[in-house]
Amino acid sequence: EPEVTQTPSHQVTQMGQEVILRCVPISNHLYFYWYRQILGQKVEFLVSFYNNEISEKSEIFDDQFSVERPDGSNFTLKIRSTKLEDSAMYFCASSEGGGGGAMDEQFFGPGTRLTVL
């Protein structure tokens, strides 16, 4: 069964450093998403991406964040200068699209745990 994969599973970085989190969505999916979950809190939407551009983003997704689909398979989230409060689990998701994209089931990856020291 196709699945969304994410690498690395755990990333430790120093405050101020740049990190890139990687995701491989399901191959025939057209919509891609990043979410984060701070320990013990709810899952928060960061950004959605379709047709090589951002569709929607939340207030969390400020200039420190960027997303990219550098090739036909990867979908990346970059945090330029990490802060302590960026420590969280980051989930990538993808959906097949059609009917507005958000109407379809989203398949989530296992997440990358980011720890900022």
Partner 1 sequence: SQQGEEDPQALSIQEGENATMNCSYKTSINNLQWYRQNSGRGLVHLILIRSNEREKHSGRLRVTLDTSKKSSSLLITASRAADTASYFCATAGFNKFYFGSGTKLNVKP
Residue numbers at the binding site for partner 1 (CB under 8 A): 31, 33, 35, 41-45, 48, 50, 55-56, 58, 91, 93, 100-103, 105-111
Q: At closest approach, how far in Å is the CB of 9 from partner 1?
A: 11
Select 20 or 89, whichever has its Cβ closest to partner 1: 89
Q: At closest approach, how far in Å is the CB of 7 from partner 1?
A: 14
Hey, what long-range contacts does 32-35 have (CB within 8 A, 24 or more apart)?
Answer: 32/67, 32/69, 32/75, 32/92, 32/93, 32/94, 33/92, 33/93, 33/94, 33/95, 33/106, 34/67, 34/77, 34/90, 34/91, 34/92, 34/93, 35/90, 35/91, 35/92, 35/93, 35/108
Give the Cα separation of 24 and 21 in Å (integer): 10
Select 49 or 116, whichever has its Cβ closest to partner 1: 49
Q: At closest approach, how far in Å is the CB of 102 from partner 1?
A: 4
Select 14 or 39, whichever has its Cβ closest to partner 1: 39
Q: At closest approach, how far in Å is the CB of 38 from partner 1?
A: 12
